[in-house]
Chain A
Amino acid sequence: MLPSLLRSACLAALALAASIPPAGAQGFTPQNPECIAPAAPGGGFDLTCRTTARLLNEYGIVGPAIRTQNMPGGIGAVAMNQVLAQRRNDPNVIVAVSTGSWVNLAQGRFGRWTENDVRWVGAIGADFGVIAVRKDSRFQNLSELMAALKADPGSVPMGAGGAVGSQDWTKAALVAKGAGADPRKLRYVPFEGGGQAMAALLGGHIQVFPGDASEVQGQLQAGEIRLLAVLSPNRLPGPFADIPTAREQGAEVEWTIVRGFYMPPGASDAAYEFWVDALRRMQADPRYAEARSGAGLFEYNSLGEAFTALAKQRTGEYRTLAREVGLVQQQ
């Protein structure tokens, strides 16, 4: 009785001293936990946050209800600046992040912040790039497309849901690079989201849509489109099982869209460990597989240190790529 009282008194004093909610050395308990989705409702970030928040509560891993907050702007730039400026030590907040954020981070589009300024918590799954064409397309496989691009990069109108330099564009650029063509000479049309790009593909306005596996699934199953390749290391399950990877077709093009979270840099180790462990337990739950595919994601394991290493490695790679194709802005 007495020792426990003493302990809570100590904890309370500690909490007061640190002027943050009690985050003891062990047994960190989040208070008013929050997940920041750095985009408007309806996109991938939003789905990442809402799915994770729901499952962590539903599986009883995090007690207090996790609130999802939308903070749109610059594929995560606004949210990162807000968190780093105003909530540097907040142990109760996780922020959704994706490969798309890393691509922009690498191009210096997040203000003065870099991949070394936050704590990378972990991934909850991944989506993979695909190269989609309409069912009646002249291209039967990736090699034919690459040959056409090599002959004349501007001969194939393609489009996706992001600007030049975005992760969507990077898929097209990597295919062009693989074919030995100059990515800057591509005839690339940016759309407002993958849905509009899909509409343009179905309408025949563009010939190739370098999209993500999850967003093309409905049209693929309906037979409206064909996939020339999936840009994953191995073949994907389900409706994608018959589609060869780019590597199988002799092209070293891979594109993984990792979805996960980071935390503010000042969060304590206990808080960091708590969230890493929470994601680990969530993914270990037998019910998780179904929920993950509901969020349009495939299995992808990377937590804590591994995820930190991944974030830094990928951002570095994209920085090199951006420099190669002349995208990097003046710093």
Chain B
Amino acid sequence: MDAFGHLAGGFAVALAPLNLLLALCGSVAGTAIGALPGLGPLNAIALLLPLVFALKLPPESALILLAAVYYGSGYGGRIAAILLNMPGEPAAVLTTLDGHPMARAGRGGAALAISGIGSFAGATLSVVLLTFLSVPLSRAAVGFSPADYVALIGFALSLLGAVAAGNAAKTWAAACLGLLLAMVGIDGGTGVERFTFGTVELLGGIDFTVLAIGLFAVSEILLLLESPVAAAASHLGHGARLTLAEIRRCVPTMLRSTGIGFVIGVLPGAGASIAAALSYSTEKRLNERDGTFGRGDVRGVAAPETADNAAQIGNMVPMLALGIPGSGTTAVLLGALLMYNITPGPLLFTQRPEVAWGLIASMYVGNVMLLVLNLPLVGLFARLLMVPAWALYPLVIALSFAGVYAASNSSTDLLLAVGFGVAGWMFRKLGVPLVPIVLGFVLGRLLEDNLRRALSLSDGDPMILLASPVSVVLWALTLTAILWPVIGLWKARGAAPGAPPGCPPG
């Protein structure tokens, strides 16, 4: 196949000493940036751009460095999520569900290891798919209409019940709160301000990082203040290392999650958060009988991490093949190309093969580097928890706040984060799960925007939502997902009328 020849040319570029070094630097920097909640890859790449020009790097080298930061951040994002229950990016929210219970049981190292392996599997398999299928896939992806997006997001939302353990009413209340928060700011359809209370600071809406840092990190600190000794002690201890059997158990999970993550990532209007949510809930449904999800199941860590990295690589498909950014971060990467006077678009592969194929080849190299880099460091990261909580948590909070402020230069964001922290603390006391709030928030905006688009296209006719086969299939799945627990309950009641419905305390 032709792709092999191009790929060989790409490897010639990627394996040049300078580019190898840059991929390494980018991977290390990406991991570090991902590890810090608050400073996402988007802002990190923006910060690096001037450096790239100051060093007068050729375009392919610049892209190799910046892309390494991007996919490297997918490896780093899990560290704070697993060890500290502080997700720094939307997809890592799902990682907290099983990763943090593992860390609490003293298996933080094992959780980090499986997430590293999952990230590697997801990314590498996706790069293979990208190498051979990017053009036909990107063609198919643009066929996905606003109505199809509505169905996809509806499906993801319907799985929220599966994501969160505990009281269903509280889960849905939390998800609705998330949807409500998503409405703050200028309405994307008509430009009308909503829930801004007349302030300009809220015009741009609430930033995901602000919400996540507030709900998770700040509230964690408030909990810590209540009982500093207990919180510090509970994390310590060395649980069992990751076993080969566990890795083997995760293989089907990783394969499925790669598929889900990559396909969702290729769609220009969906993101890693949908991919992670779908893959996590799929795995949870498939392994429902075990009842271990949400309490520290390795597969619950592998699924979102694999899907997250697969989606990140998938995001590069429309960027490389069509010149269309699938996310904010790929938009910055495209901006970097523009500054080199390279027009991103379908001709990139033919006009500047060294850039396109060099980048693709470097992603193979970079992911191997990241795995090699990350696995030995797992022990070191896990030892982070030996730092007493009274020192560790305030430090992480300080870094997060610095990151938030650096990104937006707005003190309002910091105040919001504190406000969300207090709210999050109360929610924890009341047993309201936090994950559905964040997912409702992320999905809510996408859902509303796409529903709007679909209905403006059809002039208000709701039948457009069922017009394509893709939509119909997705809605059917949604219906099944909603009815599944009901059927399960009915069956259980039929089998053993005396058994109480298994509802572990959230």
Residue numbers of A with Cβ under 8 A of B are 40-43, 46-47, 50-51, 53-54, 68-74, 77-78, 81-82, 107, 109-111, 154, 157, 159, 163-166, 187-193, 195-196, 198-200, 202-206, 214, 217-219, 221-222, 224, 290, 293-296
Set of chain A residues within 8 Å of B346, measured between Cβ atoms: 218-219, 222, 224
Contact B191 A109 (CB under 8 A): yes
Interface centre among B189, B322, B340, B343 (most CB of A within 10 A): B343
8 Å CB contact of A74 from B186, B407, B452, B453:
B186
Cα distance A171–B453 in the bound complex, in angstroms: 19
Set of chain B residues within 8 Å of A77, measured between Cβ atoms: 200, 203
Beyond A71-B409, A78-B200, A82-B410, 6 additional contacts (C-beta under 8 Å) are A41-B45, A159-B453, A163-B191, A164-B190, A200-B453, A204-B143
Q: A187-B456, A219-B346 are in contact. Are A70 and B338 (CB under 8 A)?
A: no
Interface members, chain B 139-175 (any A CB < 8 Å): 141-146
A-B pair number, CB within 8 angstroms: 169
Q: How many residues of B contact A (CB 8 A)?
A: 56
B264 to chain A, nearest CB (A): 15
What are 24 A-B pairs with beta-carbon distances under 8 A? A42-B42, A43-B335, A46-B332, A53-B50, A54-B50, A68-B50, A73-B201, A73-B204, A74-B203, A78-B200, A78-B201, A107-B191, A163-B187, A164-B189, A166-B191, A190-B188, A190-B456, A193-B331, A195-B323, A203-B143, A203-B145, A217-B343, A219-B346, A296-B338
Cα distance A222–B348 in the bound complex, in angstroms: 9
Set of chain A residues within 8 Å of B343, measured between Cβ atoms: 217-218, 221
B 353-370 to A, binary, CB cutoff 8 A, 1 in contact else 0: 000000000000000000
Q: Does B129 contact A (CB under 8 A)?
A: no
Q: Does B457 contact A (CB under 8 A)?
A: yes
8 Å CB contact of B203 from A78, A188, A191:
A78
Cβ-closest 7 pairs across A and B:
A218-B345, A73-B204, A41-B46, A74-B203, A42-B331, A203-B142, A222-B346
Contact A70 B408 (CB under 8 A): yes
Set of chain B residues within 8 Å of A200, measured between Cβ atoms: 142, 145-146, 453
Q: Does B390 contact A (CB under 8 A)?
A: no
Q: A71-B409, A218-B343, A219-B346 are in contact. Are A42 and B325 (CB under 8 A)?
A: yes
Of all chain B residues, the one with the shortest Cβ separation from A86 is: B411
Set of chain A residues within 8 Å of B334, measured between Cβ atoms: 42, 195
Set of chain A residues within 8 Å of B243, measured between Cβ atoms: none
Contact B324 A42 (CB under 8 A): no
A201 to chain B, nearest CB (A): 8
Set of chain B residues within 8 Å of A219, measured between Cβ atoms: 322-323, 345-346
Of all chain A residues, the one with the shortest Cβ separation from B187 is: A163
